[in-house]
């Protein structure tokens, strides 16, 4: 196979979910909810199939969804976009990230990514022929060191690939951190690709989009997705917003990756984006309670818990329980306790920084989280 596949192997999520099924373990590895999104959304897709939304939709997405995305950006962030030229619907955020990297990265260009990083970033950068340059968010606070970010920039740097709220740490970048990122991007004329799929899953603090900062509109590729906000991770409806030039560039790549995305899901997601604040508030409150249940329980078991401000994930340091290597720990966990979790190490170039850290997904029913905690007493 081609060199660009070297080191990519099988994604950790596929590996760990297969292990969970094979061992009958409680799966707190891959981040997907065990309850589907709102009935109105599910019924919307069924109705759309029955109504004949089964052929290629427009390449940039159906007008109703592009308008709903625009309305959402206005309603939550006061950002104004033109639905015809500034929005692109994609096959999940994953495709948006890959297409954005293909659109902006020349072979040999450097892409600075916050480490630990979501695993598709490494693949997307490799496919574009870029070089990945990590800037590490260090435990236990996972704050961004702006001096380190500044020091990572070279004449070859093309893109800052930012993710906030951040998977796997659950960090929400602060206003100061976001301002620092913007200043560096402006000073060095960099493109910023910002993955904001967890925008509505913030329990402490608030999410502010990078595109809302002065001077950023022209150079920012903003990415989100319906998967997390509406608990339909298998639908793979994502989107890009940005300047007309940005959206055209990303679409030039996207149109030859998949051409279009999920026809019957698009009208359903359009309706869901317009749900009232009560929907978004309840989503957040439910997940906050689950975060606290699992974080408190893991703490009682003796883990050092890094309680996240956002996302689906809690990170723990496993050293207080006498373990030192997260990969070994996660490989033994199904047999020892019947639970699956994800080792942080796979998200790092500087593997030492992630070695004793393990990620646990809490987007599961409370009784499932409780069962996992009961099983973990066997450790
Ligand atoms: N970015 C991050 C940070 C994620 O955690 C995920 C996981 N689902 C994605 C992107 C992918 O989103 P989608 O399923 O919409 O492709
Ligand atoms: N984003 C999910 C996670 O971090 C997994 C998505 C995937 O399986 N690629 O667990």
What is the per-residue pLDDT across 146-174, written as a single tens digit (0 to 9) for each? 999 999 999 999 999 999 999 999 999 99
DSSP labels for 275-328?
--HHHHHHHHHHHHHHHHHHHHHHHHTT-EEE--SBSSEEEEE-GGGT---HHH
Which atom of ligand 2 has the smallest separation from the CA of 197?
Answer: 1
pLDDT digits (tens, 9 = 90+) for 308-345: 999 999 999 999 999 999 999 999 999 999 999 999 99
User: Would you state the pLDDT for residue 313?
Assistant: 98
Which residue's CA is the nearest one to ligand 2's atom 4? 31
Phi and psi, residue 253, nearest 5°: -75, -45
Reported as a pLDDT band with limits 50, 70 and 90, residue 10 is confident
The stretch 34-58 carries a mean pLDDT of: 98
Residue ranges and CATH numbers for the domains of the chain are 3-37+278-376 (3.90.1150.10), 39-273 (3.40.640.10)
* Average pLDDT value for residue range 108-113: 98
Which range among 6-15, 99-108, 180-189, 347-356 shows the weakest confidence by mean pLDDT? 6-15
ipTM: 0.97
pLDDT at 299: 98
Q: Which residues contact 158 (CB under 8 A, 6 or more apart)?
A: 104, 105, 106, 109, 110, 111, 130, 190, 191
CB of 92 shorter than 6 A to ligand 1:
yes
- The answer to whether residue 245 scores a pLDDT higher than 90 is yes
361 Cα: distance to centroid of ligand 2 (angstroms): 10
Q: Give percent above pLDDT 90 in the chain.
A: 96
- What number does the ligand 2 atom closest to the CA of 94 have? 9
230 lines ligand 1 (CB under 6 A): no
Confidence band (pLDDT; 50, 70, 90) for 7?
Answer: confident
User: What's the confidence (pLDDT) of residue 346?
Assistant: 93
d(CA 326, CA 354): 8
State yes or no: pLDDT of 15 exceeds 90. Answer: no
Contact in structure between 284 and 273 (CB atoms under 8 Å): no
- 335-375 pLDDT, tens digit each: 999 999 999 999 999 999 999 999 999 999 999 999 999 99
Mean residue pLDDT of the chain comes to 97
**Helix-, strand-, coil-residue percentages of the chain, each rounded to 5:** 45, 15, 40
Is 11's pLDDT higher than 90?
Answer: no
Question: Alpha-carbon distance 356 to 360, whole Å?
Answer: 13
Q: Which ligand is nearest to the CA of 29?
A: 2
Ligand closest to 195 (CA) is 1
Ligand 2 atom at minimal distance to the Cα of residue 14: 8
Q: Give me the mean pLDDT over the 30-48 stretch.
A: 97
Rounded to a whole number of angstroms, the distance between the first and last alpha carbons of the chain is 41
Instruction: State the distance from the centre of ligand 1 to the C-alpha of 225, rounded, in angstroms.
Output: 7
Ligand 2 atom 2, closest CA = 31
Q: Counting atoms of ligand 2 from 1, which one is nearest the CA of 13?
A: 8
13 CA distance to ligand 2 middle (Å)? 6
If you average pLDDT over residues 77-84, what whole number do you get? 98
Please tell me whether residue 375 adopts helix, strand or coil conformation.
helix
State yes or no: pLDDT of 204 exceeds 90.
yes
Residue nearest to atom 1 of ligand 2 (CA): 31
pTM, entire model: 0.97
Residues 199, 195: Cα–Cα separation, whole Å:
9
Q: Please give the structure tokens belonging to residue 237.
A: 């409806």
- For ligand 1, atom 5, name the residue with the nearest CA: 167
- Whether the pLDDT of residue 208 is over 90: the answer is yes
Measured distance CA(186)–CA(166) in Å, rounded:
22
Nearest CA owner, ligand 2 atom 9: 13
Give residue-wise pLDDT tens across range 272-310: 999 999 999 999 999 999 999 999 999 999 999 999 999
Q: How far is the CA of 365 from the centre of ligand 2 (A)?
A: 18
The answer to whether residue 132 scores a pLDDT higher than 90 is: yes
Say yes or no to pLDDT of 9 above 90: no
Judge if the beta carbon of residue 167 lies within 6 A of ligand 2. Answer: yes
Q: How far apart are CA 20 and CA 333, in angstroms?
A: 10
**Encoded tokens for 295:** 């974080």
How high is the pLDDT of residue 259? 96
Q: Taking a C-beta distance cutoff of 8 angstroms, is the pair 217, 73 a contact? A: no
């Amino acid at each position: 196979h081609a060199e660009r596949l070297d080191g990519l192997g099988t994604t950790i999520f596929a590996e760990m979910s297969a292990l969970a099924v094979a061992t009958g373990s409680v799966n707190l590895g891959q981040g997907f909810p065990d309850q589907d999104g709102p009935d109105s959304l599910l019924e919307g897709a069924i109705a759309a199939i029955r109504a004949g939304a089964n052929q290629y939709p427009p390449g940039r997405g159906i007008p109703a969804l592009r308008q709903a995305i625009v309305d959402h950006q206005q309603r939550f962030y006061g950002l104004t976009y033109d639905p015809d030229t500034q929005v692109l619907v994609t096959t999940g955020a994953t495709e948006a990230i890959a297409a954005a990297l293909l659109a902006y990265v020349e072979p040999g260009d450097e892409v600075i990514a916050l480490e630990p990083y979501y695993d598709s970033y490494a693949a997307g950068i490799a496919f574009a022929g870029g070089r990945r340059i990590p800037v590490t968010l260090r435990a236990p606070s996972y704050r961004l060191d702006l001096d380190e970010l500044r020091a990572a920039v070279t004449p070859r740097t093309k893109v800052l690939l930012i993710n906030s709220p951040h998977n796997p740490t659950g960090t929400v970048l602060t206003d100061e951190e976001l301002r620092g990122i913007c200043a560096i991007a402006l000073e060095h004329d960099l493109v910023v690709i910002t993955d904001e799929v967890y925008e509505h899953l913030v329990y402490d603090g608030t999410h502010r989009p990078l595109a809302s900062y002065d001077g950023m509109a022209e150079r920012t590729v903003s990415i989100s997705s319906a998967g997390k906000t509406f608990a339909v991770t298998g639908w793979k409806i994502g989107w890009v917003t940005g300047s007309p030039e940005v959206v055209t560039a990303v679409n030039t790549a996207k149109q030859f990756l998949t051409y279009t995305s999920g026809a019957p899901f698009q009208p359903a997601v359009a309706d869901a984006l317009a749900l009232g604040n009560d929907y978004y508030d309840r989503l957040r409150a439910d997940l906050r309670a689950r975060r606290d249940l699992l974080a408190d329980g893991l703490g009682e078991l003796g883990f050092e818990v890094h309680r996240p401000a956002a996302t689906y994930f809690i990170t723990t340091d496993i050293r207080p329980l006498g373990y030192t290597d997260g990969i070994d720990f996660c490989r033994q966990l199904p047999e020892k306790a019947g639970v699956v979790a994800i080792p942080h190490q796979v998200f790092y170039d500087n593997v030492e920084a992630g070695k004793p850290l393990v990620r646990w997904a809490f987007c599961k029913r409370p009784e499932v989280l409780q069962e996992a905690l009961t099983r973990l007493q066997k450790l």
